[in-house]
A = this chain, B = another copy of it.
Amino acid sequence: MSTESKSSSRERLIEAAGEVFSEVGFKAATVREITSRAGMNLAAVNYYFRDKEELYSAVLMHAQRCAIEASWVSESSGAPEIRLRDFIEGMLRHLLDPLRPAWHSRLMAREMTAPTRMLRGLLDGGFRPKVELLGGILRELADGRLTDEEIDRASASIVSQCVFYRQNRPVILHLYPDLLGDEDHIGKLADHITAFSLGGLEQLKKSSPVRLPVALL
């Protein structure tokens, strides 16, 4: 078989495994279910990969590579308020856009709440750069009136609002049934989180302990 259809077999396997792993987790996923969904023989996993764990590792790397390529980090310039709004909408679309393969972000969400040994690499490789970009935007918005710790807390508050809708989708559908319904609900969500967070930042600036300008220290 040609190398291209060989890699296509590997990829079919990774794709099917990604779905299953993201649905039930590593331990509960069975090699039989994975190979069955890929339309391949049971032994395929141990032929293309050493074992089930190496397949899981390959799946995570694939999802991470896709996440980096289709990077939702906006290089948009302009007012920091606009860049914040772009950042939030990009993150929400990355997490919720039904056009993307659902298992990518579902698997990441699983890895964050129930991490395996691969979490550290995933964070440093894919997530930390984006969090640092967000930190830069927030520092601009803070205008020197927030401490590093306050910036971090605000950053966590913003990220939390975004990942909430990915990690707790079943809860939201049951508790806030109207929030995910109509078309362009992602846009509305981005509008809300942006406004809410900008307001939150303003409040932090008001109540933050005054910092002396460096020149006066």
Within 8 A of B (CB), among A6-28: 24-25, 27-28
Are B115's CB and A170's CB within 8 A? yes
Are B171's CB and A123's CB within 8 A? yes
Binary contact readout A179-190 vs B (1 if CB under 8 angstroms, 0 otherwise):
100000000010
Are B24's CB and A179's CB within 8 A? no
Are A156's CB and B179's CB within 8 A? yes
Are B199's CB and A201's CB within 8 A? yes
Contacts A27-B27, A161-B161, A196-B157 given; does A174 touch B114 at CB 8 Å: no
Copies of this subunit: 2
Are B152's CB and A156's CB within 8 A? no
Is A100 at the interface (CB under 8 A from chain B)?
Answer: no
The residue of chain B having its C-beta at the shortest distance from the C-beta of A148 within the complex is B178
Binary contact readout A157-193 vs B (1 if CB under 8 angstroms, 0 otherwise):
1011101110110111011101100000000010011
A interface vs B, CB < 8 Å? 24-25, 27-28, 109-110, 112-115, 119-120, 123, 127-128, 131, 149-150, 152-157, 159-161, 163-165, 167-168, 170-172, 174-176, 178-179, 189, 192-193, 195-204, 206-207
